[in-house]
Structure 1
Amino acid sequence: MASDRLHLLRVYTDADAILEGQPYAQALLARARTLGVANGAILQVIDAYGDAGIVHGAKAVDLAPRRHVIVELVDEEPRLRGFLDSLGQGEEVGLVTLETIAIVAHGGHRHHAKS
């Protein structure tokens, strides 16, 4: 994976959405891994708003909060476009963005460090 050609794909979705019996975001992450996408994560959204002007969040005053998550994937553009082709546009998919990124640092993870 050449670091000068990396892209970030974000898929915004509802945390409660289901695909094939599992949470939609987890299904997307599993599909990305199967397709060989280099890096992926599911991020929980604390608070957000969109073009409808509705604030989404999980505050104590909400009777039925609509929780949202963002699936982030990092790889070269052709692989991410392949993932997008497998995605399909259903009601579960909100905003989808794709942008060029530059890796400015890449540290190790403590759980992988040798003792």
Structure 2
Amino acid sequence: MKTDQMMGCEENCMKKESTAILLRIFIGESDHFKGKPLYMHIVEMLKTEGVAGATVFRGIAGFGKHSRIHTTSILRLSTDMPILIEVADLEENIDRIRPKLDEVINQGLITEEKVKIVFYDSDKNK
């Protein structure tokens, strides 16, 4: 990542700041692509494409386009919980992977916003 600023945060630690794009991908847990959970396909594709990183979150409640509430409540256990995949990387990398997402997402929502990233790296963990 290009950095706008580099500072020492303490001995043997570097703090890097940069501007990036935060991509949020909202899909359902029951969504699949070629027999595999869609969220796993997307994460593996992002890794193969060299994206900086991705995190998958499983929601405990939510609703979408069809206004059906999905919840983990024992009384109404849903098998299609909301899934959120967050990706933060440089704009050119997000632009490069967007067409690949278009190919695999049939139903869902993607949001994008410019963010400031503060990355801490330390020699202590090496």
Task: Please give the range of the TM-score, normalised by the shorter of the 2 chains.
Answer: 0.7 to 0.9
TM-score normalized with structure 1 length: 0.79
Partner of 1:79: 93
1:113 is aligned to 2:125: yes
In terms of fraction of residues, the more strand-rich structure is 2
1:5 is aligned to 2:7: no
- Unpaired segments ≥5 residues, structure 2: 3-16
Count of residues in Structure 1 that have an aligned counterpart in Structure 2: 111
Letter in 1 for 2:108: G
Deviation, 1:61, is 1.5
Q: 1:12–1:68: 8 Å Cα contact kept in structure 2?
A: yes
Please identify the structure whose Cα radius of gyration is greater.
Answer: 2
TM-score normalized with structure 2 length: 0.73
Q: Any runs of at least 4 consecutive aligned residues in structure 1 with deviations exceeding 4 A, and if so which?
A: 89-92
1:67 is aligned to 2:94: no
Deviation, 1:82, is 1.4
Please tell me the root mean square deviation across aligned C-alpha atoms, in Å. Answer: 2.4
Deviation, 1:62, is 1.0
Partner of 2:60: 46
2:99 partner SS: helix
Deviation, 1:91, is 6.0
Partners of 1:53 and 1:104 in 2: how far apart? 37
Identity of aligned residues (%): 23
- Unpaired segments ≥5 residues, structure 1: none
